[in-house]
Amino acid sequence: MAWVKDRENLHIAAISSAKAISKNKELASKNISSNRSPSLGQISLTSAPRSSTKISAWRGESDFQAFWNLYHQNLEELPLKKDAREVFQELELSRVEILGGDKYKGAKQNIIAHIEQKSAELIHEKIQSQLPFAVNLWLKHVNGYKFLGAAKDIVTNFKDVFLPEDNSDLQAAFIDNLNDQHAFEKESLKLLQQLNLLKEHSNNSMEEDDVESPGSMEQDNAELSESGMEIESENVSETSDEINEVDDDLLQEASIDIDSKSIEEEIELSGNYKDIESEQTEVPYSIFTTKYDEIIEAKDLSTKEEALRLRNQLDNLIKPHLTTIGKLANRLQRLLLSKQNTSWNFNLDEGVLDTARLSRVVTEPGAPLSFKEETDKEFKNTVVSLLIDSSGSMRGRSISLAAICADIIGSTLERCSIKTEVLGFTTKNWKGGESKKLWLTNGSPGSPGRLNDIRHIIFKNADNSWRRARKYFGVMLREGLLKENIDGEALSWSFQRLSKRPEERKILIVVSDGAPVDDSTLSTNHPLFLDDHLRTIIGSIEESNQIELLAIGIGHDVSKYYKRAITIHRAEELGEVLLEELTELFKN
């Protein structure tokens, strides 16, 4: 019965890890199921599962409670009705999970596994029953988490039903205040109002019988979980200084225990443990079929009336940035023209008359060296290609920022006589489209490779004038366009287009919000199938030295993929960041 002992050791190691993460050696533990509202001073965790495939999700239960004890503080209790309280509590839980996940990457993956397991249980529930958990996932989605399957569906349904309108300001406020629990709670109350769960926040506005505070929820859950047993709890809220002081010895000891025991556990339970990372790198990128792929111009994706409406919508988004755009255009134009300007050779026997020597020409008509000749400075013809991530995760604020970026860069460079092209990439369908149907018809062979119908979009060809193409830029904002993103193939496609251009200098700027995601492909291949391919394509482009590659991360840092990358979190940063980066780019 070695596996029984291993499971016990794994449970001990998980509790030790939670104590180390939370920096609370006195953290109590109970061998019971966890609550969605964790308790300060306690970890509730059942015995380790028998199946190795469920280990990560089980660890996620321990991790989110550890992060609650690390980052959450009991502030002033707010009187909220039950449904509002549950949503309020999930927002706070999501906040601490995001903060913890940023610091402990392994724990982040465990929490995602736990989320996907719980999502599979909730997906068939009524949407109102999903609401608190859906809000938790939505906040993570806003902060760049990529979900698959049921979790992704829950987020999509939540946005469609409860947040159909643009709420980019609220999203930005949540992102900005993740480290400030007081300010974060204020934004949470705004969301509750938007969800019609809180009409007006007032300490005296609700009946006592109908309201409960977040603090009382923790107490109730603790009492219920023990069926009347007393639970000792301590106030372990810590100052920010204490949070930054980690018990390194305890954390190291716990990490070693968890790593070694979890590996032993999986060997014992599965009998055929494999080094997944090693296996993944050996699998070459493949495509099941290209039969249903398409390259399409933006004008063919909408009617003229819709294109005009979307263009007006984009113009309204750009209005607050017009002053900054003007500064950017003028500075960049001066810089580029200074490089393109001609120079003169003086004191020549023939050429254009030098007006500075006009008096000498009049008094001495035969005098030599009274002419000048214009010569061109050496300036490389340049073309810039913008590749816009048009996936579902870019919906709302992100795609608006991307569209503004494209418009600013394109219009500015056009004024400077630099040719630009603007491309986009997404898929034609969710969940595989015709490619997956064909795969199913053929008996669903294993490891099929890319399994969706890609759609590459040409918003503007490099040889088209900006004035003619700009009216279709608003199509980026079109509802229903944004689906999955297979970045590696899109990057390869744009690179090949740019390579065929005659210009001497070629620049490719990718505008994206993070990692490639395609549900059908990732569910039938190894988890890093698309990620590995993207890194391979980026590496080959950067090593070729034929094209300069730059990435702009919208709301997320993409420097883990691209050597040269900048990040834009808010619209207010847009002009300043672009001004600095483009100026630096064209100085060379």
Residue owning tokens 């595989």: 432
Q: Is the confidence at residue 370, as pLDDT, over 70?
A: no
pLDDT at residue 111 is higher than 50:
yes
pLDDT digits (tens, 9 = 90+) for 213-239: 444 444 444 443 443 333 333 333 333
Tokens linked to 386: 């913008």
Q: What is the pLDDT of residue 544?
A: 87
Are 390 and 399 a contacting pair, CB within 8 Å? yes
Under the banding of pLDDT at 50, 70 and 90, the label for residue 321 is confident
- Give the pLDDT band of residue 349 (cuts 50, 70, 90): low
What is the average per-residue pLDDT within 338-364?
Answer: 67
257-262: long-range contacts at Cβ-Cβ below 8 A with a sequence spacing of 24 or more? 257/9, 257/12, 257/13, 257/16, 257/17, 258/10, 258/13, 258/14, 258/16, 258/17, 258/59, 261/6, 261/9, 261/10, 261/13, 262/10, 262/13, 262/55, 262/59
Of 204-218, 428-442, 449-463, give the lowest mean pLDDT range.
Answer: 204-218
For the chain, the domains span: 32-43+54-246, 298-332+382-573, 342-375
**Is pLDDT above 80 for 444?**
yes
Tens of pLDDT, residues 481-534: 888 889 999 999 999 999 999 988 899 999 887 788 888 888 888 888 898 999
* Type of residue found at 185: E
Percentage of the chain beyond pLDDT 90 is 21
Q: Which of 407-416, 428-437, 550-559 has the highest mean pLDDT?
A: 428-437
Residue 235 buriedness (CB in 10 A; 0-12 / 13-18 / 19+): exposed
* Best mean pLDDT range from 114-123, 163-172, 217-226: 114-123
Please check the confidence at residue 105 and state whether its pLDDT lies above 90. Answer: no
Asked: is 298-332+382-573 a CATH 3.40.50.410 domain? The reply is yes
**At 588, is the pLDDT very low, low, confident or very high (cuts 50, 70, 90)?**
low
For the record, the structure tokens of 243 come out as 């949070």
Which of 180, 174, 204 minimizes the C-alpha distance to 192?
174
Residues 186-202, mean pLDDT to the nearest whole number: 80
* Percentage, residues of the chain above pLDDT 70: 76
pLDDT band at residue 212 under the 50/70/90 scheme: very low
- Please, which residues have CB within 8 angstroms of residue 209's CB and are 6 or more apart in sequence? none
Q: How confident is the model at residue 425 (pLDDT cuts 50, 70, 90)?
A: very high
More confident residue, 136 or 557: 136
Q: What is the mean pLDDT of residues 465-474?
A: 84
β 454-460/294-297 pair status: parallel
pLDDT band at 413 (very low <50, low <70, confident <90, very high): confident
The whole-number pLDDT of residue 343 equals 62
Q: Which residue has the higher pLDDT, 542 or 280?
A: 542
Tell which wins on pLDDT, 202 or 197.
197
Region 396-410 average pLDDT: 81
- The string of pLDDT tens digits covering residues 248-285 is 444 444 443 434 333 333 333 333 323 333 334 456 89
The token pair that represents 301 in the structure block: 């994706």
Say whether 572 sits in a helix, a strand or coil.
helix
The residue-averaged pLDDT of 442-461 equals 92
pLDDT confidence of 436, banded at 50, 70, 90? Answer: very high
Regarding predicted confidence, which is higher, 529 or 198? 529
DSSP reduced 3-state for 348: strand
Q: Which residues pair with 508 in a beta bridge?
A: 385, 549
Lookup result for tokens 């949540």: 174
